[in-house]
Amino acid sequence: MKETKEHQYLTPGTLLDGSYQVIEMIGKGGMGAVYMAYDVRLDRKVAIKIISPDFSDVMAVEERENILKRFESEARIAAKIDHPNVIRIYGFKRENLPVGAEVREIDYLAMELLAGRTLRNTMDVSGFEYEEETREWIGKYMVPILDGLQTVHERGIIHRDLKPENFLMKDDTPKLADFGLSLGFDLPSVTASVAEIFGTVTYMAPEQFYNFSLAREPADIYAIGKILYEVVEGKMSDKVKPFKQVRLPNTDTPFLQALNEIVMNATEENPNQRISSAKDLKERLMALIYCRRTDGEPVESGRRSSWIGKVLWPGIVLAALAAGAVVMHFSHSVDSRPAATAVPAATEIGPSISGNERPMADVQHRPFPDGLEKTFRGRDNSIFHLIPPAVIEPNEDMEDMARVFGSGKTTVGAVYLAENPVTNQQYVAFLNKNLDRIEVIDNEVFFDGDLILKLSEKIRGYKPIVFDGERFFLKEPMHAACAVLMVTGHGAEAYATYYGMRLPRAREWFYVMTTNEEAVPERIEVPTPVINYSKDSYGLRGVNQIAEWGRIDGEVSAILGQMPANMIESEWVIEKDPSKYYTDTSFRLAKDAE
CATH code of the domain in which 62 resides? 1.10.510.10
Largest CA distance in the chain: 84
Q: Which of 416, 449, 470 lies at the terminal end of a domain, its last residue?
A: 416
Beta bridge partners of 377: 383
Domain region containing 433: 424-592
pLDDT (tens digit, 0 to 9) for every residue of the chain, 594 residues total? 334 344 457 889 999 999 999 999 988 765 678 899 999 999 999 999 887 766 666 566 776 677 677 667 767 777 888 899 999 988 888 898 887 778 888 888 899 998 779 999 999 999 999 988 999 999 999 999 999 999 999 988 888 889 999 899 998 899 998 665 444 333 333 333 333 334 578 999 988 887 766 788 999 999 999 999 999 999 998 777 888 999 999 998 888 998 999 999 999 999 989 998 999 899 889 888 864 433 333 333 234 432 222 222 233 222 332 333 322 222 322 233 333 344 444 444 433 333 444 444 677 778 877 888 888 989 988 889 999 998 877 766 555 556 666 667 778 889 999 999 999 989 999 999 999 999 999 999 999 999 999 997 766 667 889 999 999 988 876 677 889 999 999 999 999 999 999 999 988 888 888 787 665 556 667 677 787 777 888 889 888 888 999 998 767 898 988 654 443 344 577 889 999 998 889 999 999 997
Best CA proximity match to 92, nearest among 59, 67, 114: 67
CATH code of the domain in which 452 resides? 3.90.1580
pLDDT at 563: 56
187/71 same-domain check: yes
197/256 same-domain check: yes
**What's the full length of the chain, in residues?**
594
pLDDT at 179: 63
In a domain, 485, yes or no: yes
In a domain, 337, yes or no: no
Q: Which of 331, 364, 395 lies at the terminal end of a domain, its last residue?
A: 331
388/295 same-domain check: no
Best CA proximity match to 111, nearest among 25, 55, 199, 36: 36
Angle at 324 between CA 319 and CA 329, to 5 degrees: 75
- For 211-223, the three-class secondary structure string (H helix, E strand, C coil) is CHHHCCHHHHHHH
439/380 same-domain check: no
359/445 same-domain check: no
323/357 same-domain check: no
356/430 same-domain check: no
In a domain, 223, yes or no: yes
Contact between residue 396 and residue 442 where contact means Cβ atoms under 8 Å apart: no
- Quote the number of domains for the chain: 3
279/388 same-domain check: no
In a domain, 340, yes or no: no
pLDDT at 75: 75
167/286 same-domain check: yes
Q: With residue 536 as reference, give the H or E element that holds it.
A: none
Q: Which of 416, 449, 476 lies at the terminal end of a domain, its last residue?
A: 416
In a domain, 342, yes or no: no
3 state DSSP class of 483: strand
277/381 same-domain check: no
Confidence (pTM): 0.52
162/239 same-domain check: yes
Best CA proximity match to 13, nearest among 34, 37, 32, 46: 37
Q: At what angle do helices 278-289 and 143-154 cross, to 10 degrees?
A: 160
Show the DSSP H helices in 141-290 as ranges. Answer: 143-154, 206-210, 217-233, 254-266, 278-289
pLDDT at 364: 79
Distance between CA atoms of residues 33 and 49, nearest Å: 6
In a domain, 31, yes or no: yes
In a domain, 293, yes or no: yes
15/71 same-domain check: yes
Best CA proximity match to 405, nearest among 521, 589, 572: 572
